Structure 1
Amino acid sequence: MLKISPKFVNSIINAESLEELFPLLQNAIELEHATIPPYLTALFSFKPNTEAEIRKVIHSIVIEEMLHMTIAANILNALGGKPDISNPNFVPNYPTHLPMGIGEGLIVGIEKYSPELVKNVFMEIEEPENPIVYEKTAKKSALPTFRTIGEFYMALQKKIDELAPEKLPGDPARQVTSSFFDSNLLYPILTKHDAMSAINIIVEQGEGTTTSPIDEEGELAHYYRFQELYVGKELVKNPTAPNGYSFSGPVIPFHPNNVQPIFPNTKANMLPEGSEERRQVDIFNNSYSDLLNGLHRTFNGEPEYLNNTIGVMFDLRLTSQKLAEMPFPGKKGYTIGPSYEFTKTLSEHEILS
């Protein structure tokens, strides 16, 4: 599982004011974002019109990670803070530890899809403290020297309940909503109860509950959806199996030949200056920066600007797929991967105070 340094949870526990929670919620925004590029790269590495079932699963998880990032930003705004997205330090330098991760723990890179990537990275990111064991899986033992994502969010929830007034102090006009998300999942965070309920959404969609792999919306949590991909079968209700579920549903097919051989952890400086390959990577990185800058504006007083980011997301997908088909100069047998490098910061007059 993703091992979070206990100092972050301890900082929440020891906080005596809402302002002390601001950097920790910023950490949460950074963590939710940091999972998206690895998941997107796996999704974009499939050849066109292949692996529809796997695409569907990964796409659904990416959308929910975007939701979690937005919820975290809404909570920070509701408490009176300001999300910081237009910042080179916001973007991980893959391969890397995820934000708040312990140094000797999980390393996350930008790679093509494979069952091994799902098991060794994606499931590790999403694994709850005590995953429910189903047929064809084995439970891991937990070490007491670190915290989990769920523990971090639960500590945050408890501290908000302790410190915050019922009506939260942030400007309601900064709250982001969108028809892109179910209004039961993304809603204005105006009260303490709103914040606590929203944190439950993040935890249950990622980890499930302690007794079920299903969240309150009736969907499998991320950990178990990824587990389905690794096992190659759907996790379904089975009254005769331990814990009531087993991997005995329909087969989820996977054909390795449908994956583009993208070079892991591509960087722009690996490609010749002036080449078409470098130009396409630069186009990707500029679009990625535009997306983050757009999200910064969205989370800092222009919630309606979220609609402007939809077209940028489409551009990222098209450019990434084009890169995945381009041979990597000097690396025989490989194509080019997206590099997710921040290139353009908003100017001072573009950043709202």
Structure 2
Amino acid sequence: MRQRLINKTEPQENFSSKEAKLMGRNAVVEEALSLQSLLFDSKISKADWIEGLKHHSKTLTNLLLNDQIDEFNQYLSSQFGGEISELKPADLSDKTSFDAKKGGLTNISYLPILQDLLQTAILIEHSTIPPYLTALYSIKDGTNALASQIIRSVAVEEMLHMIMVCNVMNAVSIQPSVNRPQNYPSYPMKLPMNVDFYVGLETFSTNSIATFIAIESPSSPLVKAPKYDEPEATPNLYAKGVSLEEHNHWTLENMKGFIMENVHTIGEYYDVLFFYIVVFQIIAYYKEHGSLPQSFKELNTGGIFTGDPAKQIRPEQYYGSGGKLHAVESLTGVIAVFQEIKGQGEGADDSIFDVDPSQFEEGAELAHYFRFKEVFHEHFYVGGDYRPFTDENGMMPVTTPPVGKPLPVDWNAAYPMKPNPKMSDYQSNPELYAQGKAFNQTYKNLLDAIQAAVEGDAKQLEKSIMYMYALKEQAIGLMSQPLNSTQNAGPTFEYPTN
């Protein structure tokens, strides 16, 4: 994902005017803490730590996830290349003296913190899969072919995202988990961020698609408007004061608290998560070399990337279609994974597409947010005239509806499933209870196959196709049966119990 994440911040005062121009900032963050102060100074207040975290997480993430390596090197050198004017620490070459000045960050183990944050990322991805599959399976056969195609493609890519987060975990020697009871979403639920909507299991409807749009909402309020050409016969579907008290703000509680207060979209979660990963890679470099890194090359390999490459799921081993799977053995791999996840979710390069379509002969698919908006508004984007919505730079609000060729949707051609069904709803009906139990076991088998794969047996992924076919058949078997006078049964996606 190469979206411009910051439009209203400016580099720190020690940047040259040339560097400031390269960074492309427009406003001022007054007296922003240096990255070195943010990481190591134990005398800054909680408020200053939070403001510094906001500034540097956006700055660093913007550079690396937009492939601006030269600019990142300039940024890193400016942050770690000399004395901090206010704190005036000892020369970093004097490691003992520097250790006395810094906080306790080098004594913190990154493993439990990244395990928690990355497992939360798996939960976020996992939380979207059952709702998408439920809506997909609820569409009656022979109807809504285009809408079904869109929902299916997104669900498959969410599974890809979950596997790639597992790759990141394995790269830093943390065992991912996708199939344990605590890894199961419980519906209805809120995503573990600062959001005000619930995600649940619902039939295909305007309400469920609106929820999917909310899930995939982009971080940026503006997007490049598709170029308008004369209508085509067949449009392409997806063509700061210093406290005197000692503090250590770098705790899991504070880091998660920052996310819960300041992160509103999945893309923003990955931004902050990426920053935390880089922070621990910086600390690992310092602990090994006794100095702070001055370039991306120094930061890219080694450090926290100690995982077994044999546990990586590689592109040729993945059964799915849509998107590209990336193995992770260094920071470069993390960047590729997060670019892919963010690009597929909310768009890349400020566009409505998951990659820059001009760079690929085969074109590009729309990002998830825009695919769901096509279904909701019953129109495609491609081929529409968006000039009335655009500003002088060709940008339009992401809320702009698609106005291309009609996308026919029959909202009534779906089973009237009870929202968020539970196995307890079927206690009085032995047949439904048995069917619900069988569905949950099949879904567990699917997760077991993924778990075995990320533990090193990638061939287990081949079983996933079989399980996906079985899930659809079993889900339809449930949703085609009345539960009460107005609602049908449906899959519960609960952890199977005896």
TM category, shorter: 0.7 to 0.9
Structure 1 residues 171-225: Cα deviation after superposition (integer angstroms, max 9, x where no partner)? 0110113243469811321222111111111011101136211121622111111
CA contact (8 A) 1:44 1:320 kept: yes
Answer yes or no: is the 8 Å Cα contact 1:32–1:68 preserved in 2. yes
Kept in 2: contact 1:84–1:296 (CA 8 A): yes
SS at structure 2 position matched to 1:233? coil
Read off the aligned partner of 2:134 and give its amino acid letter. T
Q: Which of residues 371, 375, 379 in structure 2 aligns to 1:225? A: 371
| TM-score of the aligned structures, taking structure 2 as reference length | 0.60
Task: Give, as a single letter, the amino acid of the residue that structure 1 aligns with 2:130.
Answer: P
How far apart are the structure 2 equivalents of 1:145 and 1:287? 37
Q: Which residue of 1 aligns with 2:145?
A: 52
Any residues of structure 2 matched to 1:187-206 within 5 Å, and which?
187-206=326-345
For residues 183 and 230 of structure 1, what CA distance do their matches in structure 2 show?
Answer: 21
Tell me how far apart the structure 2 counterparts of residues 189 and 207 of structure 1 sit (CA, whole Å): 22
Please state how far the C-alpha of 1:18 moved relative to its aligned partner: 4.0
Q: Per-residue deviation at 1:344?
A: 5.6
CA contact (8 A) 1:126 1:222 kept: yes
**Residue segments in structure 2 that go unaligned for 5+ positions in a row:** 1-49, 58-104, 226-259, 282-299, 358-363
Q: Which residue type is aligned with residue 155 of structure 1? A: V
Q: Is 2:129 aligned against 1:36?
A: yes
For 2:176, what is the secondary structure of its paired residue? coil
* 2:213 match: 123
Q: Tell me, yes or no, if the aligned pair for 1:96 and 1:107 is still in contact at 8 Å.
A: yes
Evaluate the alpha carbon distance shift between residue 207 and residue 77 of structure 1 in structure 2; reply closer, same or farther with a 3 A threshold: same
Residue of structure 1 in register with 2:433 after alignment: 278
Moved more, 75-84 or 263-272: 263-272
CA distance in 1, matches of 2:190, 2:118: 18
* Cα deviation 1:250-295 (Å, max 9, x = unaligned): 2111113311111111111111356211111111111112222222
Q: From the superposition, tell whether residues 166 and 17 of structure 1 become closer, same or farther in structure 2 (CA, over 3 Å).
A: farther
Q: CA deviation at 1:132?
A: 3.0
Paired letter, 2:310? A
Does structure 2 conserve the Cα–Cα contact (< 8 Å) formed by 1:130 and 1:210?
no
Call closer, same or farther: CA 1:133–1:157 in 2, change over 3 Å. Answer: closer
User: Is 1:93 matched with 2:186?
Assistant: yes
Q: Is residue 290–residue 344 contact of structure 1 (8 Å, CA) maintained in 2?
A: no
- 1:251/1:183 Cα in 2 relative to 1: closer, same or farther (>3 Å)? closer
* Alignment-mate amino acid for residue 114 of structure 2: L
Q: How many pairs are equivalent?
A: 324
Aligned with 1:112 (options 193, 197, 203): 203
Following superposition of structure 1 onto structure 2, how do residues 132-171 of structure 1 map, counting pairs within 5 Å?
132=222, 145-147=261-263, 148-164=265-281, 166-167=301-302, 168-171=305-308
Shift of 1:48: 1.0
In structure 1, C-alpha distance between the alignment counterparts of 2:261 and 2:110, rounded to whole Å: 27
- Partner letter of residue 198 of structure 1? V
State yes or no: 1:211 paired with 2:328: no
| CA displacement at 1:71 relative to structure 2 | 0.6
8 Å CA contact retained: 2:346, 2:352: yes
Q: 1:22 to 1:214 in 2, by over 3 A?
A: same
Paired amino acid for 1:157: F
Amino acid at match of 1:169: T
2:319 to 180, 183, 187: 180
SS of structure 1 residue aligned to 2:262: coil
Q: Please tell me whether the aligned partners of residues 224 and 351 of structure 2 are also in contact (alpha carbons under 8 angstroms).
A: no
Matches of 1:179 and 1:293, distance apart in 2: 15
Contact 1:232–1:251 (CA under 8 A) maintained in structure 2 = yes
Cα distance in 1, alignment partners of residues 318 and 493 from structure 2 = 27
The farther-off stretch of 274-283 and 224-233 is 274-283
> What is the CA deviation profile of residues 122-180 of structure 1, one whole-angstrom value per residue up to 9, with x for unaligned ones?
11111012233799xxxxxxxx9531321221223234344435142100110113243
Compared CA separation, residues 333 and 274, structure 1 to 2 (3 A): closer
Q: What CA distance in whole angstroms lies between the structure 2 residues aligned with 1:22 and 1:45? A: 35
Give the TM-score normalised by the residue count of structure 1.
0.83
Distance 1:184 1:230 in 2: 23
Could you say if the C-alpha distance between residues 203 and 133 of structure 1 is closer, same or farther in structure 2, counting changes exceeding 3 Å? Answer: closer
What is the Cα-based RMSD across aligned positions, in Å?
2.8
Identity %: 31
SS at match of 2:215: helix
Query: Using a 3 Å threshold, how does the CA distance of structure 1 residues 182 and 113 change in structure 2: closer, same or farther?
Result: closer
Q: Structure 1 residue 239: deviation in Å?
A: 6.7
1:305-320 aligned at under 5 Å gives the runs 305-320=460-475
Q: Is the 8 A contact 2:139 2:415 kept in 1?
A: yes
Indicate the residue corresponding to 2:490 in structure 1: 337
Larger radius of gyration: 2
Instruction: Pick one of 455, 478, 490 that aligns with 1:300.
Output: 455
Q: Secondary structure at the match of 1:48?
A: coil
Give SS of 1:321's match.
Answer: helix
What amino acid does structure 2 have at the position aligned with 1:211? D
**What is the identity, as a one-letter code, of the residue corresponding to 1:337?**
G
Correspondence for 1:322? 477
